[in-house]
């Protein structure tokens, strides 16, 4: 009994905590948003480590809807921790903008529950339900500042395009079901092994990938990203850039490796096209941006392109490379948003790149931190971003996709321009105004992220352990 229960204990724990917190926050007399936020952060941290601490057997739950193994445990750890960091970042912002409501934390928990179902999904139905639970919560979070016209626009845009992508996804899923007779990943694989890739299966698979490409904002399905990133409240944007991207990337990986593992020749070209377009759009689109949140949106499009490069190889090393790259990207991007959240003048937040001018004189610590993060995003050794790209590109070269890696390197060089422009603005332009002192939580998260991207400070044992975890996660996926 307990063994069956333990296979989906993290999800159960999250669902129960979210529902209890929803009831707890409902107090007419006093505002409980602060305490609900702290409890939610605790819940997310516990959730993150649950998979590893329980050390349960790999297990199927709900008649094959969910399948938990090292792959999903690894992803849940990263998703849980990054969501906890984003939730902490939101504390001061929402209090300052007097938007703080306990539903924010509860909705974040439900979004993470959806992501958790996504990364464990072993069935097209479970995948769809996970995606919908996550997306619905995220639409609400995007429009959370309901009095702001731009936030409402961001929420609406995200909702309409998200509904479109769900339509594509469902159409693909129905084709797959029609041609293979099952929703279960392993049965689909067995069925494809029997019939070969028929036209219907290929069409269904392409529709599924298009629907999921919306969720990772890979070009040409990236149109919503800059507007949603710009319009949403900044901590929500930080959350969007991290956990949901990883969850969608994970479900793409699982789809490609488990049900479609035998027809790599069919999907490799789709992934390559998505990767090349994302890298080019992300690198070129960001050049003209003056708003730092829009710039980070294009940067995330480009980074999703890089993450797709090792996936196109379709090997264990490729999946490991993707996991390592995404983990490093998430660490960096949370740091960047922790710093963007410190760009507060006396009369409110600013988000233009030009507002950073002369930061090295007015706030040298912040300028140094953002420089470290930008250098890591460019991928200069020995910063951590370099190792992310190294682990991402080597498997692609080994799989004979040398030209794809060349495109990725050219895109990296182009995108170095706008990261370097931020550094130049901070160190060489004249200072114009001073930011007010940032709150402690924001600074602590920024410093933690900056320390993590400076690799000399990471103990070799820690990085070795992290690589080992990513490797066993990739192995588990292929063993499935």
Partner 1 sequence: MLIAITFYLMAFTAVAAAFMVVASRNPVHSVMYLILTFFSAAGLFILMGAEFIALLLVMVYVGAVAVLFLFVVMMLDVDFVELKQGFLQYIGIGATVALILLAEMIMVGAVYFTGESKTVVPTDPNTTNLEAFGQVLYTDYAGAFEAAGLILLVALIGAVVLTLRERKGVRTQNAAKQMSRTREDGVELIDIEPGQGLG
- The first and second tokens of residue 252, run together, are 């793409």
Buried b (16+ CB within 10 A) or exposed e, 129-161: bbbbbbbbbbbbbbbbbeebeebbbbbebbbeb
Task: Please select the residue that binds partner 1; options are 146, 150, 433, 437, rule is CB under 8 A.
Answer: 146
Total chain residues near partner 1 (CB under 8 A): 30
In the complex, least distance from residue 51 CB atom to partner 1, rounded to whole angstroms = 18
Residue from the set 36, 48, 66, 212 that interacts with partner 1 by CB under 8 A: 66
**Part of the chain binding partner 1 (CB under 8 A), chosen from 139-147, 329-337, 358-366, 427-435:** 139-147
Which lies closer to partner 1 via its Cβ, residue 106 or residue 323?
Answer: 106
The Cβ-side half-sphere exposure at 327, using a 13 Å CA radius, reads 25
Q: Kindly state the smallest distance separating residue 221's Cβ from partner 1, in Å.
A: 20
What is the number of alpha carbons within 13 Å of residue 31 lying toward its C-beta? 10
Contact with partner 1 (CB under 8 A) among 35, 46, 129, 414: 129
Tell me the C-alpha distance between 111 and 224, whole Å.
19
- In degrees and rounded to multiples of 5, residue 150 shows phi and psi of -70, -35
For partner 1, the binding residue among 4, 5, 19, 451 (CB under 8 A) is: 19
Determine the Cα angle at 354 with ends 353 and 360, to 5°: 90
8 near partner 1, rule: CB under 8 A: yes
**Residue 146 or 433 having the CB closest to partner 1:** 146
From 143-151, 191-199, 318-326, 454-462, span contacting partner 1 (CB under 8 A): 143-151
Question: Residue 291 pairs with which residues in a beta bridge?
Answer: 352
Binding mask 179-198 for partner 1 (x = CB under 8 A): --------------------
Identity of the residue, 155 or 305, whose beta carbon is nearer to partner 1 in the bound complex: 155
Q: How far is the CB of 142 from partner 1 (least distance, A)?
A: 11
Helix (H) and strand (E) counts in the chain:
20, 4
Smaller CB separation from partner 1, 143 or 286: 143
Cα separation, 357 vs 429, in Å, equals 5
Nearer to partner 1, 137 or 405 (CB): 137
Residue 123 or 449: which CB sits closer to partner 1?
123
Binding residue (CB under 8 A) for partner 1 from 100, 132, 230, 471: 132
Residue 150 as a binder of partner 1 (CB under 8 A): the answer is: no
Contact positions with partner 1 (CB under 8 A) in 25-64: 61-63
CA distance 112 to 105: 11
What x/- string results for residues 99 through 128 when contact with partner 1 is judged by CB under 8 A?
--x-x--xx--x--x---x-------xx--
What are the Cα distances from residue 116, in Å, to 178, 325, 471? 27, 20, 20
Binding residue (CB under 8 A) for partner 1 from 35, 46, 54, 136: 136
Q: Which residues contact 217 (CB under 8 A, 6 or more apart)?
A: 224, 225, 245, 297, 300, 301, 304
Provide the 10 A C-beta neighbour count for residue 65.
20
Which helix or strand (DSSP H or E) is residue 472 part of?
A: helix 460-479
CB of 131 to partner 1, least distance (A): 10
Nearest CB to partner 1, comparing residues 215 and 389: 215
**Cα–Cα distance, 293 to 352 (Å, whole number):** 8
Q: Is 240 in the site for partner 1 (CB under 8 A)?
A: no
Per 3-state DSSP, the chain is made up of helix, strand and coil in percentages (nearest 5) of 80, 5, 20
65 contacts: CB under 8 Å, gap ≥ 6: 121, 122, 123, 125, 126
Of the pair 120, 412, the CB lying nearest partner 1 is at: 120
137, 175, 213, 356: which one contacts partner 1 (CB under 8 A)? Answer: 137
Q: Which stretch binds partner 1 (CB under 8 A): 132-140, 198-206, 340-348, 411-419?
A: 132-140
Strand boundaries in 20-160, DSSP class E: 59-61, 66-68
- Judge contact between 245 and 279, C-beta under 8 A: no
Which residue number, 80 or 155, has a Cβ lying nearer to partner 1? Answer: 155
Contact of 42 with 101, CB cutoff 8 Å: no
Q: Whole-number minimum distance, CB 111 to partner 1, in Å?
A: 8
Q: How far is the CB of 73 from partner 1 (least distance, A)?
A: 18
Q: Does 251 bind partner 1 (CB under 8 A)?
A: no
Cis, peptide link before residue 382, omega less than 30° from 0: yes
Which ranges constitute the DSSP H helices of 286-398? 292-313, 316-340, 359-362, 364-378, 384-398
Residue 133 touching partner 1 (CB under 8 A): yes
Which of residues 163 and 406 has its CB atom nearest to partner 1 in the complex? Answer: 163
Nearer to partner 1, 49 or 62 (CB): 62
- Residues of the shown chain interacting with partner 1 in the complex, contacts defined by CB under 8 A: 8, 15, 19, 22, 61-63, 65-66, 101, 103, 106-107, 110, 113, 117, 125-126, 129-130, 132-133, 136-137, 139-140, 143-144, 146, 155
């Amino acid at each position: 009994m307990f063994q069956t229960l333990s296979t989906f204990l993290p999800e159960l724990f999250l669902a129960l905590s979210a529902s209890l917190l929803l009831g707890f926050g409902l107090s007419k007399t006093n505002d409980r948003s602060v305490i609900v936020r702290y409890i939610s952060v605790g819940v997310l941290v516990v959730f993150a480590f649950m998979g590893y601490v329980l050390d349960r057997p790999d297990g199927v739950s709900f008649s094959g809807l969910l399948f938990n193994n090292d792959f999903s445990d690894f992803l849940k750890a990263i998703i849980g921790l990054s969501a906890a960091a984003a939730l902490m970042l939101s504390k001061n912002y929402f209090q300052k903008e007097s938007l703080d409501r306990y539903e924010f934390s509860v909705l974040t928990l439900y979004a993470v529950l959806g992501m958790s179902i996504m990364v464990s999904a072993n069935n097209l139905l479970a995948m769809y339900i996970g995606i919908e639970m996550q997306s619905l919560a995220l639409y609400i979070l995007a429009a959370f500042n309901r009095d702001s016209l731009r936030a409402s626009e961001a929420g609406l845009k995200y909702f309409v395009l998200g509904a479109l992508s769900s339509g594509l996804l469902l159409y693909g899923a129905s084709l797959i079901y029609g041609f293979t007779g099952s929703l279960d990943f392993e049965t689909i694989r067995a069925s494809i092994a029997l019939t070969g890739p028929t036209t219907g299966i290929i069409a269904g698979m392409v529709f599924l990938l298009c629907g999921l490409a919306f969720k990772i904002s890979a070009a040409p399905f990236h149109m919503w990203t800059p507007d949603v990133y710009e319009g949403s409240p900044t901590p929500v944007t930080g959350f969007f850039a991290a956990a949901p991207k990883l969850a969608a990337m994970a479900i793409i990986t699982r789809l490609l490796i488990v049900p479609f593992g035998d027809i790599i020749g069919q999907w490799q070209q789709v992934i390559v096209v998505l990767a090349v377009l994302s890298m080019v759009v992300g690198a070129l689109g960001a050049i003209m941006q003056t708003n730092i949140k829009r710039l980070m949106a294009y940067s995330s499009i480009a980074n999703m392109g890089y993450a797709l490069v090792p996936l196109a190889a379709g090997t264990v090393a490729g999946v490991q490379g993707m996991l390592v790259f995404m983990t490093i990207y998430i660490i960096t991007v949370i740091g960047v948003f922790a710093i963007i959240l410190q760009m507060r003048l006396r009369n409110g937040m600013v988000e233009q790149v030009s507002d950073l001018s002369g930061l090295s004189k007015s706030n040298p610590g912040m300028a140094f931190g953002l420089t470290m993060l930008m250098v890591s995003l460019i991928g200069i050794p020995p910063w951590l971003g370099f190792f992310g790209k190294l682990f991402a590109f080597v498997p692609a070269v080994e799989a004979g996709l040398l030209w794809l890696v060349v495109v990725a390197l050219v895109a990296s060089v182009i995108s170095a321009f706008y990261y370097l422009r931020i550094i130049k603005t901070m160190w060489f332009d004249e200072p114009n105004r001073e930011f007010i002192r940032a709150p402690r939580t924001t600074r602590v998260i920024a410093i933690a992220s900056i320390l993590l991207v400076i690799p000399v400070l990471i103990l070799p044992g820690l990085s070795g352990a992290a690589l080992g975890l990513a490797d066993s996660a990739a192995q588990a996926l292929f063993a499935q």
